[in-house]
Structure 1
């Protein structure tokens, strides 16, 4: 999950089954989404009142009790299809875990679910995504309102539902237990999926509504079968992670375990909605719904492909990478949980020091930790220095000169490794003294044993600069990506080989400057200022993204480095495109219609790694201002604007659709040497040859040269050109001298 500090509006429509609960827990931890509300339907796995109560409790658990919760329909609009009574009773109690959830701090909104959604569509400036995790009854009610809601402000509805090319799951559940048998219309229905079967007419109405839809059907759920591996992926210690872990345990081993292979359903739909699954295969199809009920060989609720052009096309997810999904699930559930504003945090940070440490390695981090504050201005961290003894330790300012005396001062630790308070975060700094210390510890590992002992009970263990060598010597860093000061890369690699640690050592400069897999308590950073970035990451782990960014900007006046300087793999077929772009700013591209806008959104996402940022139909007032500023003589206009953001380079593409006034509707491809206007957009990348190999195989990319670029000598710059399907010519460039990269601007 990429945390980019930009939020999209989201409404979750749910029947509050076990998988809905997991999906909601994942999204409560996602800083890229602003959950406007949870609307509950009683036409699914839980009864309406119990589902609403569960939603309130989950929001309290996730420190977001102010999110709106509304009750919706208690019965479907067609038939009276229901889950078995004892199954619903089990879901009402969150698989027997309801007693582990806190009492609700929020209250139920008096509006019906569809009234709340209608009001939100009218009031919110930016478009809203709706995640549908149950039957579509509430959304069907929305479409029937008079006057009509502003459905154009629905960016898309992501629907977990349907079975297109695989068997449905009605009969499978019905026939798995004698007490769940509800008759032949259930026992013979091998075609439908539950969310569509519950209210097939509502599903048909929504599918035909012209609202953009992404369908996540049973076809793709077979790639994500629930098992104990998901339990083992959860390592975070916050209440959301703990409850998710317990719920998974109930479903794979406890009384709530089902006798049939169980996909993970709604969490898959939630993560697919975030576009964090790069390897998903999505196709456009016209999907229809059978609404007639039969008492044998029942097909009611079946979803099928149709050639009927009156049925709008929708996106249908047909396959995912199981490995990629598990990684995305792990990152999501282990992400930091934003604390309540009124919640005071108090954590002990022990900074391990020794003779000849680097001053900024500990002083920079010390400043970050010391500046972090709770809402009542109390300190978040109690930070202290710790060493093998109480003797003053020499602190160097940079590498000591070979001749003469360098800058230094002495500092006395607060505690020794034999007597100290409990340590929640162990922070190991670096410096020139590390070489002598490593030699001593290889002979007599007293400090290493202490580091290992403290690490067992600490929340997090951080190594910065050459201090990472001590963590490696403790043999706790295994089979992971790490970094250190660039001058120590070879030493760390040699130590990895010597102790069979299988460490991948990366240069994180011009990137985030640190590496942390959220499922691990261990993190590492480069030298000097890189530790400040890692210290701010520790603040985020406890206080959330907004608190970290506010601390950096308003207190420390520090620009947080972003992005990944180097991809985790240089093999083209494994490249993640968001990792190879290092910087640029803003680009405007005109779309012919909403279909082209959605196609362009998908193209730039899949080819260059952009993410949806926000989109909005400009208000009449904004359109009038825009039309005048743009030079349209009548001063009138109707415009949709969609911004895409690159999470690494932090620059935007602005897609614009003019309903009025219309310009030239044919895409014009200019030659490279045509005079007038911008001929190409240049992106700085980190491996020009690998980027060329990646792009030449991407659908919609036209390369201007069929041969790989040659690295020039002595000129350090290498480049090539390509054209996208929307008339934009791009230059990919490597080797431009860069003093710095700040928020995607290369200087």
Structure 2
């Protein structure tokens, strides 16, 4: 089996943690680095969260890099506490920041991203699970970086104009619309998008979630702990915008992008089209506009995921939880 080299760029919340576990469990994947960005929580918490996941899975040899602490433009936005103020449900006790900081690499995440891609030209799959600030900064420092990537997978944006932080805007793109715009205009490698609505339309049952978090493994116990008091995992009717729009169910948002990267057959249908991120307006700032009819006159087209093989996806999630 050919080994896929992967870099994960993350704002590690609960769904990022599960996505990272999925990549760690894939026998054909070697994670060469994890770069951290603000998003679900501040960037220092993100670094700690990633290190916690690697520790649970006994994979602490993977280097972790601290990256952007805020968006390219404007004041720092208050962090949304969808997954708790620390990103992992506010339930973990071992959160001495000084201990965790010693394990983070001194090299900045953007520099590390550029270096790792240049060291493995044409081989690296970059999976972006949070705001795209690190990626935008990387292409400003190395304009040729996208041609050196194998491909790019992004969880973010929307395909139906539905949003979770604004009526029309998804969280990751809303947190840094300018970076999302830059990445989708200037990264010209094969690009695959798992939008918010796509993930919600492929929700899983709470019965499967219970099975997932009741395995006798360290990873399963970890997931059960960090979801135990998090309102995002409430099963009450209409507990969230997701439930109102798509019905109740368990959605591991970021894991869909990682699963698609690990095994392309998980995505059974995609729409290939040009896209553009809206950076203006009160309601539409951060909106991902799809252009299936070619009105934008853009040569670069991306693959917007539309249909997922849920049986394969469930199997990958279950494998991710059965570690170390």
**TM-score between both structures, scaled by the size of structure 1:** 0.39
Instruction: Sort the Cα spacing of 1:25 and 1:288 in 2 relative to 1 into closer, same or farther, 3 A.
Output: same
TM-fit CA distance, 1:194: 0.7
Q: What is the RMSD computed on CA atoms of the aligned residues?
A: 2.8
Which of these residues, 193, 197, 202, is aligned with residue 215 of structure 1?
193
TM-fit CA distance, 1:256: 11
Within the alignment, does 1:309 sit opposite 2:297 as a pair? yes
TM-fit CA distance, 1:284: 0.5
Q: Is the 8 A contact 2:84 2:230 kept in 1?
A: no
Q: Which has the higher contact order (CA 8 A, sep 6+)?
A: 2
Q: Is the 8 A contact 1:122 1:149 kept in 2?
A: no
Within the alignment, does 1:23 sit opposite 2:29 as a pair? no
Instruction: Sort the Cα spacing of 1:100 and 1:235 in 2 relative to 1 into closer, same or farther, 3 A.
Output: farther
| Residue aligning to 1:75 | 70
Can you give the 5+ residue segments of structure 2 that lack an aligned partner in the other structure?
244-249
| Residue aligning to 2:246 | none
Q: Is the 8 A contact 1:289 1:301 kept in 2?
A: yes
CA deviations over 1:687-714 (Å, ceiling 9, x no partner): xxxxxxxxxxxxxxxxxxxxxxxxxxxx
Within the alignment, does 1:8 sit opposite 2:13 as a pair? no
| Residue aligning to 1:129 | 125
CA deviations over 1:685-744 (Å, ceiling 9, x no partner): xxxxxxxxxxxxxxxxxxxxxxxxxxxxxxxxxxxxxxxxxxxxxxxxxxxxxxxxxxxx
Instruction: Sort the Cα spacing of 1:277 and 1:54 in 2 relative to 1 into closer, same or farther, 3 A.
Output: same
TM-fit CA distance, 1:15: 0.6
CA deviations over 1:335-383 (Å, ceiling 9, x no partner): x52xxxxxxxxxxxxxxxxxxxxxxxxxxxxxxxxxxxxxxxxxxxxxx
TM-fit CA distance, 1:91: 4.0
SS at match of 2:150: strand
Whichever structure has more helix as a proportion of its residues is 2
Instruction: Sort the Cα spacing of 1:137 and 1:47 in 2 relative to 1 into closer, same or farther, 3 A.
Output: same
SS at match of 1:270: helix
Which of these residues, 127, 134, 137, is aligned with residue 138 of structure 1?
134
CA deviations over 1:134-167 (Å, ceiling 9, x no partner): 0101000000005x45432211110001111251
Q: Is the 8 A contact 1:25 1:244 kept in 2?
A: no
- Could you tell me how far apart the structure 2 residues matched to 1:72 and 1:84 are? 16
- Could you tell me how far apart the structure 2 residues matched to 1:30 and 1:162 are? 26
Instruction: Sort the Cα spacing of 1:323 and 1:255 in 2 relative to 1 into closer, same or farther, 3 A.
Output: closer
Q: Is the 8 A contact 1:95 1:250 kept in 2?
A: yes
- Could you tell me how far apart the structure 1 residues matched to 2:85 and 2:14 are? 7
1:241-640 matches, cutoff 5 A: 241-251=220-230, 259-260=239-240, 261=243, 263-275=251-263, 277-278=265-266, 280-294=268-282, 298-306=283-291, 307-310=295-298, 312-334=300-322, 336-337=323-324
| Residue aligning to 1:92 | 86
- Could you tell me how far apart the structure 2 residues matched to 1:55 and 1:93 are? 10
Within the alignment, does 1:229 sit opposite 2:208 as a pair? yes
SS at match of 2:168: coil
| Residue aligning to 2:107 | 111
Can you give the 5+ residue segments of structure 1 that lack an aligned partner in the other structure?
171-188, 338-747
| Residue aligning to 1:34 | 30
- Could you tell me how far apart the structure 1 residues matched to 2:207 and 2:92 are? 21
TM-fit CA distance, 1:97: 3.0
Q: Is the 8 A contact 1:277 1:328 kept in 2?
A: no
- Could you tell me how far apart the structure 2 residues matched to 1:253 and 1:268 are? 18
CA deviations over 1:507-550 (Å, ceiling 9, x no partner): xxxxxxxxxxxxxxxxxxxxxxxxxxxxxxxxxxxxxxxxxxxx
Which of these residues, 156, 159, 177, is aligned with residue 161 of structure 1?
156
CA deviations over 1:163-207 (Å, ceiling 9, x no partner): 11251111xxxxxxxxxxxxxxxxxx3111111111111111111
Whichever structure has more strand as a proportion of its residues is 1
Which of these residues, 171, 178, 187, is aligned with residue 201 of structure 1?
178
CA deviations over 1:370-408 (Å, ceiling 9, x no partner): xxxxxxxxxxxxxxxxxxxxxxxxxxxxxxxxxxxxxxx
| Residue aligning to 1:356 | none
- Could you tell me how far apart the structure 1 residues matched to 2:179 and 2:92 are? 30
SS at match of 1:144: helix
- Could you tell me how far apart the structure 2 residues matched to 1:120 and 1:46 are? 25
Larger Rg computed on CA atoms: 1
Q: Is the 8 A contact 1:52 1:71 kept in 2?
A: yes
Instruction: Sort the Cα spacing of 1:39 and 1:227 in 2 relative to 1 into closer, same or farther, 3 A.
Output: same
SS at match of 2:251: coil
